[in-house]
Amino acid sequence: MTKEHQAVAVRRGSIGAKRNPASQQAILEAAEAILREEGLSGFSIEAVARRARAGKPTVYRWWPSRAALLLDVYQGFKNERQFPDTGNFEDDLRAFLTNQLIGFWSAGICGMVFRSVIAEAQSDPGAAEALFAYERGRRKFAEALVDRAKERGEIDPNADSAVIIELLAGFAWHRLLTGRIEGSDADVDKVVATIVAATKKNPGV
């Protein structure tokens, strides 16, 4: 354990519904460490609270479910990656799929964590709500890459940005949930080419 982790892992009092930044960081670091060391089988609110030296009520007040905490850890990984802005629609789509979705999920524990959140969302309304809120926030940034292509005159101005991103995400989610992330590069090119062809400003030219 690093000195920094030791410093923030000391039990601290809650400040009500508002999160104490030091306690929040300690809990998120503990959650990530457990995932890396023990995987999902060793991950629980109790285990995280014990490792972070935080009270279970504090953890549950800030993260009402296991899935909500998993999603916060996952989002921390995602925040390290920037949305693409290459100046070219086709390259942006490809970078979005490989950097934000498929390539990201194939690295380390990220795919495992997100797949677990999706699974829990099928039977846990709280997990479903957290997942929906996360997706809604991310999607507006993804849709911006389509909007920029419209502004550059690369694609049909009437193209539906939300539908385009949902098509890309749907392809990636299907690969994740069916365990077919590896070896998707060739298919990524096909998916991107299909969307580019369908959204050209002057089809057939």
Contacts with 115 (C-beta within 8 Å, 6 or more apart), sequence order: 176, 177
For residue 83, what are its two tokens? Answer: 């949305």
Residue 192 corresponds to which tokens in the numbers above?
């991107």
Look at the block and give the residue holding tokens 């849709």: 143
**What's residue 7's pLDDT?**
37
Averaged confidence pLDDT in the chain: 86
Do 106 and 58 share a structural domain? no
CATH number at residue 37: 1.10.10.60
Both 81 and 176 in one domain: the answer is yes
Is there a single domain that holds both residue 32 and residue 133? no
Confidence at residue 119, expressed as pLDDT on a 0 to 100 scale: 93
DSSP three-state, residue 15 = strand
Q: Which domain holds residue 27?
A: 3-63
pLDDT at 54 over 60: yes
Regarding whether 107 and 50 lie in a shared domain, the answer is no
Query: What's the average model confidence in pLDDT over 32-40?
Result: 93
Please indicate, yes or no, if residue 204 is contained in any of the structural domains: no
**129 lies in some domain:** yes
Count structural domains, the chain.
2
In a domain, 43, yes or no: yes
Closest CA to 104 of 88, 96, 149: 96
- Residues 85, 37 within the same domain: no
How far apart CA 156 and CA 195 sit, in angstroms, is 11
Query: What tens digit of pLDDT does each residue of 128-176 get?
Result: 998 998 898 888 889 999 999 999 999 999 999 999 999 999 999 999 9
CA gap 31, 33 in Å, rounded: 5
